[in-house]
Amino acid sequence: MNARGVLGSLGLLSMVLLAGCSPSTSGEESAPPPTGAAIRADVPATALERVADDPPLLPRPFTADQIRDEWVVGYEVTWRRWTPDNETRERWQVVAADAEGVDIASTPLDADGGAAGEPRVEHSTWTDLRDHASFPEDHATREMVTRATPLGELEGWLYTVRGPKEDTVTEYFFANRFPGAPVLMRVELGGVPVMIMEQVARSGAQHTPS
């Protein structure tokens, strides 16, 4: 799964959860984010703001500016993806960035950490990346927790999302120190883990593990 696939899975889940809710009636001209919820362009961005969405969303963990300041050129993160049948690793690297967006190269890795294929480069805007972490209040909760991770013990926001199937629960853990993608994403079906994705190494960002 490449960078767009990982981050897009957040937006896709949000769209599925929002599908059964009433559509937004906002008259703003700004384009809607991937969740389909209209965002007012004049709302000041703060980490804890409640954006003007219908249905209401939980506050997002980071602003677009916080993600932009963290994801500088040369930033790298290595992911481990586990399923009951397979385990893979992938490296993301920021290869270009400006005030509007970022180019991320995703490279599959072999067991020794070497490239196992050609990198795939995808472009996203900073608001795209921010809006992937959009979850409707009636299907999700969030709480501040401390978690042991491959990057060390970290404090951050844990989002627990129910659905789209009745017995499906997905957890997204966003570490306060590392704006951007969740440090951990865990999917359970009937209480049994069916997918885990976690960051196992980082370098080149503004806040690397000590």
* pLDDT of 8 higher than 70: no
**How far, in Å, CA of 66 to CA of 28, rounded?**
24
DSSP 3-state percent helix, strand, coil across the chain (nearest 5): 15, 40, 45
The predicted structure's pLDDT at residue 132 = 92
Interval 103-111 mean pLDDT: 95
Query: Which residue segment(s) compose the domain that 65 sits in?
Result: 3-203
Asked if residue 209 is part of any domain, the answer here is no
Q: Average pLDDT in the 54-79 region?
A: 94
| Domain-embedded: residue 133 | yes
**Within a domain: residue 208?**
no
Higher pLDDT, 127 or 43: 127
Q: State how far the Cα of 53 lies from the Cα of 76, in Å rounded to an integer.
A: 33
127 sits in which H/E element: helix 126-131
- Please indicate, yes or no, if residue 99 is contained in any of the structural domains: yes
Is pLDDT above 90 for 55?
no
Distance CA 80, CA 12 (A): 21
Q: What's the total number of domains in the chain?
A: 1
Q: Are 92 and 199 in contact (CB under 8 A)?
A: no
CA nearest neighbour of 166 among 47, 11, 16, 3:
16
Residue 210 belongs to some domain of the structure: no
19-52 pLDDT, tens digit each: 333 333 333 333 333 333 322 233 334 434 444 4
Q: Is the peptide bond before 108 cis (omega within 30 degrees of 0)?
A: no
For position 68, which CATH number holds?
Answer: 2.50.20
